[in-house]
């Protein structure tokens, strides 16, 4: 997986914000189109109720992809000033390379999407 990610990095890092948003929205669309399959898999994997997976885990996963699809188009660089200290804080969003992401056991898909979507 790491080797594949390294190989894909040059192409992914050159993608525009719109291309990244399109990928994230497509992932959300695919999850929604296969909602019941994801619900069943999450229930089997976690032992949680179908209702919980259907109303919490999977919809929140879709929301994460859609949120970050919008975010990538509207937030590129932020700057804020700490007036009394005379400092500026910058947030610059640019590709940095392969990242290892750990997903907790209790909400694996939902929390994985919270980490992987902004990385895309």
pLDDT at residue number 8: 93
Sign of CA dihedral 40, 42, 46, 48: negative
**Model pTM score:** 0.84
Q: What is the CATH number of the domain that holds 83?
A: 3.40.605.10
Interval 8-38: pLDDT, tens: 999 999 999 999 999 999 999 999 999 999 9
CB atoms closer than 10 angstroms to residue 72: 23
- Cβ neighbors of 110 (< 8 A, separation 6 or more) are 56, 57, 58, 60, 61, 64
- Its domain, for residue 94, covers 2-119
Pairwise CA distance, residues 117 & 20, whole Å: 9
pLDDT at residue number 94: 81
pLDDT at residue number 34: 98
Interval 58-110: pLDDT, tens: 999 999 999 999 998 887 667 777 777 778 787 777 888 998 888 888 888 99
CB atoms closer than 10 angstroms to residue 53: 25
Instruction: Quote the number of domains for the chain.
Output: 1
């Amino acid at each position: 997986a790491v080797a594949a990610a390294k190989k894909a990095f040059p192409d992914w890092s050159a993608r525009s914000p719109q291309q990244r948003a399109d990928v994230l929205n497509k992932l959300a669309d695919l999850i929604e189109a296969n909602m019941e399959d994801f619900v069943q898999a999450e229930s089997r994997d976690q032992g949680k109720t179908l209702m919980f997976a259907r109303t919490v885990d999977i919809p929140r996963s879709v929301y994460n992809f859609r949120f970050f699809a919008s975010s990538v188009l509207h937030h590129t660089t932020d700057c804020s000033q700490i007036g009394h200290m005379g400092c500026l804080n910058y947030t610059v969003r640019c590709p940095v390379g392969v990242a290892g992401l750990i997903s907790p056991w209790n909400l694996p898909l939902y929390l994985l999407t919270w980490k992987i979507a902004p990385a895309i």
